[in-house]
């Protein structure tokens, strides 16, 4: 890819990719670091995280923390309290972004937003992943049912009061899917713990 010398061309490349690019992606498309910094200094693009840029003309990001994590770590999955908050089955306001990674992988690190990283076994990591579009960015988030199973698994870390509130709100705000709840309870090895709560819903 030949290096792009024209700011207008560089701006159009951003536009054709939804207005957001990582530095590595921009360079692949012929936008040099110097051109990126020039676009930023002229207010055409803005840096939303280390190595991540977006057109300044775009509407404000509705969920900047999740967007930043999704752009920087596309293979990580939003989990636990952050997933509860996304699905609106908690009153908690997470002050960190809870993310899951495979047990064998290197944990991600961000200066901001702060992360709470949890290593999942391969079966638990791969189960129940949904992809949601937030401000044009595809974000991996566990489904409500998988998130509840994870919360029971990590109840000692996030607090049983948070788990029970989430279960109560899930029953009120979502269509209870016992089949999926049992499936994820088994994968997360919390079937015995969850079963008494599930039986009340049958």
Which pLDDT belongs to residue 162? Answer: 96
What is the model's pLDDT at position 1? 52
Mean residue pLDDT across the chain: 90
Angle (deg, nearest 10), helices 178-187 and 144-153: 40
Query: Does residue 137 register a pLDDT over 90?
Result: no
Sequence-ordered list of residues with C-beta below 8 angstroms from that of 101, at least 6 positions apart, any chain: 75, 76, 77, 107, 108, 117, 118, 119, 120, 125
DSSP-derived letter for residue 70 is H
Q: pLDDT per residue over 144-172, tens digit each?
A: 999 999 999 999 999 999 999 999 999 99
Query: At residue 67, what are phi and psi to the nearest 5 degrees?
Result: -65, -45
Q: Is the pLDDT of residue 47 over 80?
A: yes
Average pLDDT rounded to a whole number, residues 92-97: 90
Residue 201: per-residue pLDDT: 63
Cβ partners under 8 Å of residue 189, min gap 6: 153
């Amino acid at each position: 890819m030949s290096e792009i010398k024209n700011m207008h061309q560089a701006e159009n490349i951003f536009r054709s990719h939804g207005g957001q690019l990582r530095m590595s992606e921009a360079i692949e498309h012929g936008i040099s670091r110097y051109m990126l910094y020039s676009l930023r200094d002229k207010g055409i693009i803005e840096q939303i995280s280390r190595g991540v840029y977006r057109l300044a003309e775009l509407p404000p990001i509705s969920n900047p923390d999740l967007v930043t994590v999704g752009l920087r770590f596309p293979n990580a999955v939003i989990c636990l309290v952050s997933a509860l908050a996304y699905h609106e089955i908690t009153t908690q306001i997470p002050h960190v972004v809870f993310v899951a990674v495979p047990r064998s992988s290197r944990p991600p690190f961000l200066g901001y937003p702060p992360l709470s990283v949890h290593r999942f076994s391969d079966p638990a990591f791969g189960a129940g992943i949904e992809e949601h579009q937030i401000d044009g960015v595809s974000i991996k988030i566990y489904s409500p049912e998988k998130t509840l199973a994870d919360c029971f698994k990590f109840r000692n870390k996030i607090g049983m009061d948070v788990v029970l509130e989430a279960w109560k709100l899930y029953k009120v705000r979502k269509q209870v899917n016992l089949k999926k709840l049992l499936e994820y309870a088994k994968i997360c090895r919390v079937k015995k713990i969850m079963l008494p709560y599930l039986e009340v819903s049958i």
